[in-house]
Amino acid sequence: MEIKISVPEVVNLIKELQDRPSRIFEMATMNVQKDVGDYLTNLMKAELTHVLGREKYERNKGQANHRNGSYPREFCIKGIGEVAVKVPRDRKGQYQTQVLPRGKRYEDRIVEDLSIMYLTGVSTRTLSMLSRRLIGREISHEEVSKANRELTEAVEKWRNRDLSNEKIKYIFVDGVIFKMRLKYSVENIPVLVAIGVTETGAKLVVGLQSGDKESATNWREFFRDLKSRGLDAASVQLGIMDGLSGLEKVFAEEFPHAEVQRCQVHVARNVLAKVPHKLKKEVADDLRSIFYASSKEKADELYKSFYEKWNKVIPSAVKSLSQSIEACLTFFKFPDEEWISLRTTNIIERLNKEFKRRTKSMEIVAGENACYRLLAFISLKMELSWRSNPIGKVRPNLPLYQIYTK
């Protein structure tokens, strides 16, 4: 067959490619999509031939079923985009193709990629805009959200997993607040978080549950849920927390064999909030000396000096410290190579900060299940990074933490 192309057509094509270089890729993609569509159509025709047991136009006596034309269908394939196919039919409706999944408009790998992008913080609106560039068609917000619902079952299984094989000796607890869409309103919903530390120093997120972090009742339910999933209360030696109202009392009741370590950073902030600006640096230095003393005896001695030095000058600040000093120094009862990790709730604060960073682009989390999906993904990713830095394996000469004095 002879194909004739005029010079003006060539000139126009070259000019178009110069103006829009991406056009050449669009043309190549269109050809690939057509070839793949034709290939899948032929594959399904061969499949129907196998089912019927004869070629097209071939007649066998006793065969009541026949070909019955075809219907058009579009299917999206990763790396290729949307392809048009013709799905053959049989007269009795017995044929169901195995080439393309039934009831799906795109392959599973695309769903997986969209889910991962969503979990890493890309909003559903952004995903919809990106999808046309990535797979050749725009996926609606509803389709993206529907794809992510498939993760809910796996997340719930992880969130409620059995803890009986995890020998947890320390627990860090805190809460983080998200803006969450619940039915017809947007509300600030707190999520309670617990990180467990095993006998080998490994850190694991063992609990994620919605609840008011100021509520003793919610914390009791949270701790009891951990125990109902197999957490051995007798093996827990220490709880690290920031002194939330009622939390320490509930923790002591639910884990009677455990000590309580109050976060030194939170205590320092509370003390410094009652100190005049011109004295903040000096008071902060004195606090640091107490918290980073070489022994409990030395810390007690430095606290006594702190009290004598500042009690008449800043009595409210000294009173604030005196109410927390014993709980701040509990870590001295544990191995000294673990002190730097047990002094504060920094471990869980970093996790909460990552939660906030990943959800910032979303502004509002679309419901409790969406929140748990995101938090589970971030938690598992953080656990991978923690593997190289177990508690008790850090250098003893790390720099002191910085107390903010502003």
Parallel, antiparallel, or unpaired: how do β-strands 168-182 and 185-198 relate? antiparallel
| pLDDT tens, position by position, 22-63 | 544 454 445 677 777 787 788 888 888 887 777 777 776 667
Phi, psi (5° rounding) for residue 3? -110, 125
- Does the pLDDT at position 121 exceed 60? no
- Residue boundaries of the structural domains of the chain: 1-100, 106-150, 160-386
User: How far is C-alpha 290 from the chain's CA centre?
Assistant: 37
| pLDDT tens, position by position, 191-220 | 899 999 999 999 999 999 888 877 889 999
Share of the chain above pLDDT 90, in %: 36
Contacts of 344 by beta carbon, 8 Å cutoff, 6+ apart: 240, 263, 264, 265, 266, 401
Q: Is residue 60 within 8 Å of residue 116, measured between CB atoms?
A: no
Give Rg (Cα) of the chain.
32
Mean pLDDT of 116-137: 64
Collapse the DSSP code of 229 into the 3-class scheme (helix H, G, I; strand E, B; otherwise coil) and give the result.
Answer: coil
Q: What element of type H or E holds 176?
A: strand 168-182
Q: For residue 311, give the amino acid letter.
A: N
User: How far is C-alpha 376 from the chain's CA centre?
Assistant: 5
Q: What is the dihedral of CA 309, 313, 316, 319, to 10 degrees?
A: 20
Q: Please, which pLDDT band fits residue 405 given cuts at 50, 70 and 90? A: very low
Average model confidence (pLDDT) for the chain?
79
Q: Please, which pLDDT band fits residue 120 given cuts at 50, 70 and 90? A: low
Mean pLDDT of 121-147: 65
- Exposure on the CB side of residue 404, measured as CA atoms within 13 A: 7
pLDDT of residue 376: 82
Q: Which residue has the higher pLDDT, 374 or 283?
A: 283
Q: Which region among 49-53, 92-96, 115-119, 163-167 has the lowest average model confidence (pLDDT)? A: 115-119
Burial annotation 117-142 (CB, 10 A radius, 16+ → b, else e): bbbebbbbeebbeebeebbbeebeee
